[in-house]
Amino acid sequence: MTQPVLTFTDRGIYCPAGDFYIDPWRPVPRALITHGHADHARPGSERYMATHAALPVMRHRLGDIVAEGIAYNEARQIGSARVSFHPAGHLAGSAQIRVEVGGEVWVVSGDYKTTDDGFCEPFEPVRCHSFITECTFGLPVFKWQPQAEVAQEINDWWRACVAEGKTALLGAYSLGKAQRLLSLLDPIGPILTHGAVEATNEILRAQGYTLPDTTHVTPDLDVKALKGALVVAPPSALGSQWARRFTAPSAGFASGWMALRGIRRRRGMDRGFVLSDHADWPGLQEAIKTTGAETIYATHGYTEIFARWLTDQGYDAHVLKTEYGSEEEDAA
């Protein structure tokens, strides 16, 4: 019996023909990484490979790693496997990983969204026989509104905060969501950033990504002198002592989970903005259809429900249990 292109182990997704793992959750000899979020890029492996755009943030987060960069759409031979990385549209440098062995092609999506946000490299569908897809938002209730409308909501909220003498505090994860939000802001007032966000900003600016001017909130910064500011910080910082230095703070949070009112209430935010770097229900369907794959593995999300729906549509669908989460949980 022919060995499958990819197998599923207690350390992660493994390719026997190339002797490597994709986004392993345990240390391994060789790890191919889709993107730099903490649930996909973990410390301890001997060697890493990722896109050139993903590596700087990975090195910042993981420390002194042995890592090799690869360009999008560049093919590499690893053992008997032919490997290439293709844009996933999730965040700067994120990739889907295509693995071909003996003419059979599998694609591991990592995390992805199919709409172009104007900041990171847009999603490119990759034809394959088997597709491993995330389904973080794999329910019909999740359907994102156009990005321009969300941007208008955020900027209107900021203007209202300024008019009321409040400081707008916007919760956003430091890698990916924060930079996307920064790219959507109008020049209403000064933009301040938490250290975790600013560290990532500096890395991406050095790579040539365009971001507006921001001011790092340091202990000696007189934030009260910066009238009409908007502050971008990790969600964990919004209710902390760090946030209490700002005048009349009003907290907002941008996440796909804000589509669920119960979660919005539990977060205790003044405003919730529905904006995600994952595919919504239509996006998942679109991505899977364009791959041409007959076999689909659903992972991290509403896997059981989504796999049943795929089966009803005629796919050979399976649930793949992994230890991935989502950027919605990546509070670093």
Query: Which of 245, 273, 301 is the endpoint of a domain?
Result: 273
Q: Examine the domain organization and report whether 159 and 125 are in the same domain.
A: no
**DSSP string over 173-189:** -TTTHHHHHHTT--SSS
Are 28 and 77 found together in one domain? yes
Domain boundary among 226, 251, 273: 273
Statement to judge: residues 163 and 256 lie in one domain: yes
Residue 321's domain comprises: 7-141+278-329
Q: Give the pLDDT confidence score for residue 268 in this predicted structure.
A: 67
What's the whole-number average pLDDT of the chain?
94
Does one domain contain both 312 and 261? no
- Answer yes or no: do 134 and 62 share one domain: yes
Are 57 and 172 found together in one domain? Answer: no
Q: Same structural domain for residues 252 and 311?
A: no
Total residues belonging to the chain:
332
Same domain, 13 and 134: yes
Q: What is the pLDDT of residues 215-249, one digit of tens each?
A: 999 999 999 889 999 999 999 898 889 999 999 99
Q: How many other CB atoms sit within 10 Å of the CB of residue 159?
A: 15
Strand order in the sheet with 167-171: 215-216, 191-193, 230-233, 167-171, 249-254, 271-273
Strand order from edge to edge, sheet including 104-108: 76-78, 81-87, 95-101, 104-108, 130-135, 295-301, 316-319
Is residue 50 included in any domain, yes or no? yes
* DSSP-assigned letter for residue 146: P
For the segment 248-257, the average pLDDT, to the nearest whole number, is 94
For residue 317, give the CATH number of its domain: 3.60.15.10
Domain assignment present for 317: yes
Two tokens, residue 176: 């990916």
What CA–CA distance (Å, rounded) separates 37 from 174?
A: 10
User: What's the rounded Cα separation, in Å, for the pair 285 and 135?
Assistant: 10
Look up the pTM and report it. Answer: 0.95
Q: Is residue 126 domain-shared with residue 217, that is, in the same domain?
A: no
- Model confidence over 111-141: pLDDT tens digits? 999 999 999 999 999 999 999 999 999 999 9
Burial 233-244 (b: 16+ CB within 10 A, else e): bbbebbbeebbe
3-state SS class at 211: coil
Are 206 and 225 part of one and the same domain? yes
Position 262, amino acid: G
CA distance 75 to 59: 23
Domain count, the chain: 2
174: CATH: 3.40.50.10710
In a domain, 2, yes or no: no
Torsion of CA 123, 124, 127, 131, to 10 degrees: -20
According to the model, what pLDDT value does residue 327 have?
Answer: 47
Residues 166 and 269 in one domain: yes
Tell whether 155 and 268 lie within a shared domain: yes
pLDDT band of residue 296 (cuts 50, 70, 90) is very high
Q: Is residue 309 part of a domain?
A: yes
Q: How many C-beta atoms surround the C-beta of residue 328 within 10 A? A: 19
Indicate whether 120 belongs to any domain: yes
Q: What is the DSSP letter of 226?
A: S
Q: Is position 1 within any domain? A: no
